[in-house]
Amino acid sequence: SVDQPGVIYRTMVDLFKLMEEKEDTVFELSVSYLEIYNEAIRDLFSPSNPPLPLRESESGGVVISGLSYYSPKSVRELYDMLLRGNQNRTQHPTDANAQSSRSHAVFQVYLRQRPVNSGTTTQFSLSKLSLIDLAGSERAIVTANQG
C-alpha cells in the first residue's frame, strides 16, 4: 500500500538509486512476478493467461515458459506494476487477516551491467535477485480454530 510499501518496493528504490549513482556503467533491468498456488504457476503481470509450465532448460536450469518480463524505467512505474501484480494474487479472508494471501509470490529482478565505454564484445555481469513472499499460515490461537 502507499502507507506501507513493503520490502520489494524499498529494495527496488535502493537499487534504482545505486544505478543512478554509477555513471560509468550501463544497466539493463528486467523483472518478473509470479505466484504459486495449488501447484499452479501464474504470471501476476498477465493473470488472464493459463497456468505456466515449468521446464528444464538446455543448460540444466529451470525455466517457466511464457512468463512475462518487463523493464521498468522508474521507481514509480515499478510501484504501479507491483500494485497490479499484488491485486492479482490469490487471497481469501481469514479471522486473523482480511487480506491473507494464499499463494507464494516470487518477484525476480534481473540486472545486466557493463562499462559505458565497452565495445560490443565486452562481457557483462548478470545478477538475479529473488524476493519471495510465502503464503500465510495463521496459528490456531489467532483464528480461534478448535478441534
pLDDT score, position 3: 82
Instruction: Answer whether 0.75 is exceeded by the pTM.
Output: yes
Q: Name the residue among 104, 147, 140, 109 with its Cα closest to residue 126.
A: 109
Query: What average pLDDT does range 71-81 have in this prediction?
Result: 92
Tens of pLDDT along 49-67? 889 999 998 888 889 999 9
Report the alpha-carbon distance of residue 54 to residue 36 in Å, rounded: 11
The shares of helix, strand and coil residues in the chain, as percent rounded to the nearest 5, are: 20, 35, 45
Q: Which residues pair with 56 in a beta bridge?
A: 62
Tens of pLDDT along 4-27? 888 988 999 999 999 999 999 999
pLDDT score, position 124: 85
